[in-house]
Amino acid sequence: MLLHILNAFLGSRSAVVERLTAGTPVVLIRDGQIDRRALRRELMHESELMTALRMEHVERLEDVQQAVLECSGEVSVLPVPAAQPLKKSDLPMMGRLSS
């Protein structure tokens, strides 16, 4: 616990210490292509990445514009615009149906 407090204190005082201890986000997929070097550097297996994509409801690599391994260990996924789910605002306005 003392180490955690010391790390938090030093990180709040120094950007260098914060960067060294917190890490930086790493791009794992760019334009549907896996960066295998980044996966190796992060000691992550491709099956783990595919699991993270499925958790974000992404089935195909082609549907991913960018996937990032965040400092927290979570994978953030930015789908290509065509693969994003429809929103209510995407649908045309329709008049009320009369019965």
CATH number at residue 36: 3.30.240.20
Give the mean pLDDT of 32-57: 96
- Which residues touch 83 (CB under 8 Å, ≥6 apart)? 58, 63, 64
64 within some domain: yes
End-to-end CA separation in angstroms for the chain: 67
14 within some domain: no
> pTM to 2 decimals?
0.68
Question: What type of residue sits at position 36?
Answer: R
97 within some domain: no
Kindly tell me if the per-residue pLDDT of 68 is higher than 60.
yes
> What domain range includes position 31?
24-82
Of 15, 36, 34, nearest in space to 24 by CA: 15
* pLDDT score at 9: 77
Q: How many domains does the chain have?
A: 1
The mean of the pLDDT values for the chain is 84
12 within some domain: no
Q: Pairing relation of β-strands 75-79 and 64-69?
A: antiparallel
pLDDT band at 93 (very low <50, low <70, confident <90, very high): low
89 within some domain: no
- Which 8-state DSSP code applies to residue 71? T
40 within some domain: yes
99 within some domain: no
